[in-house]
């Protein structure tokens, strides 16, 4: 199976993206570099990684987002895999408006699983396409930022960028 990949320099560091059949299937920060092939192989079986053309619209949309067009990521189609519960969480995350946040408990309530706050946190952490599925917009009920796979400092930068936009 062919998957196209690219490294994109952003204000929050270099990110690596993977695209399968025109859909974003992975977005990772530099800290997780080198793990992409293994993660994709677990999801899709044997993969052949090829370069994503520099002028691809996916790369353009990421650049547009970081230049201030905070709605630029909305039309990106994603292929996340995951369980039904994870997909429900990730779908709800895409409903959090730019510049706003929601707590893990609010996400749990919104997907009609109010007792599953920890499971929401686990699903949030397993999000394969961060930023596009905006897991950085999820915070703890006490207002603390909580964790973030791309680093808490990057989470803070992304939220500040969106609130300023």
How does DSSP assign 5-32, residue by residue? EEEEEETTEEEEEEEETTEEEEEEEGGG
End-to-end CA distance of the chain: 39
Q: Could you tell me where the DSSP H helices lie in the chain? A: 36-44, 57-66, 84-93, 104-110, 117-125, 152-164
Catalytic residue among 135, 138, 139, 158: 135
How many CB atoms lie under 10 A from the CB of residue 159?
19
Whether the Cβ atoms of residue 25 and residue 43 lie closer than 8 Å to each other: yes
Report d(CA 146, CA 149) in Å as an integer: 10
Q: Is 25 an active-site residue? A: no
Whether the Cβ atoms of residue 78 and residue 131 lie closer than 8 Å to each other: no
| Phi, then psi, of 15 in degrees rounded to 5 | -120, 155
Query: SS3 for 61?
Result: helix
Catalytic residue numbers, as ranges: 135
């Amino acid at each position: 199976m062919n998957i196209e990949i690219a490294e994109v320099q952003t204000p929050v560091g270099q990110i690596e993206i993977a695209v399968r059949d025109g859909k974003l299937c992975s977005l990772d920060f530099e800290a997780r570099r080198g793990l992409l092939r293994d993660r994709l192989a677990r999801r899709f079986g044997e993969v052949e990684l090829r370069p994503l053309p520099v002028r691809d619209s996916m790369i353009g949309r990421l650049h547009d987002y970081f230049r201030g067009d905070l709605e630029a990521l909305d039309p990106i189609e994603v292929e996340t895999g995951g369980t039904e519960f994870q997909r429900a969480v990730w779908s709800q995350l895409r409903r959090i408006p730019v510049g706003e946040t929601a707590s893990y408990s609010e996400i749990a309530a919104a997907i009609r699983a109010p007792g599953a706050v920890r499971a929401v946190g686990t699903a949030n952490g397993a999000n394969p396409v961060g930023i596009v599925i905006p897991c950085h917009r999820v915070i703890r009920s006490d207002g603390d930022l909580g964790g973030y796979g791309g680093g808490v400092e990057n989470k803070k930068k992304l939220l500040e960028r969106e609130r300023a936009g």
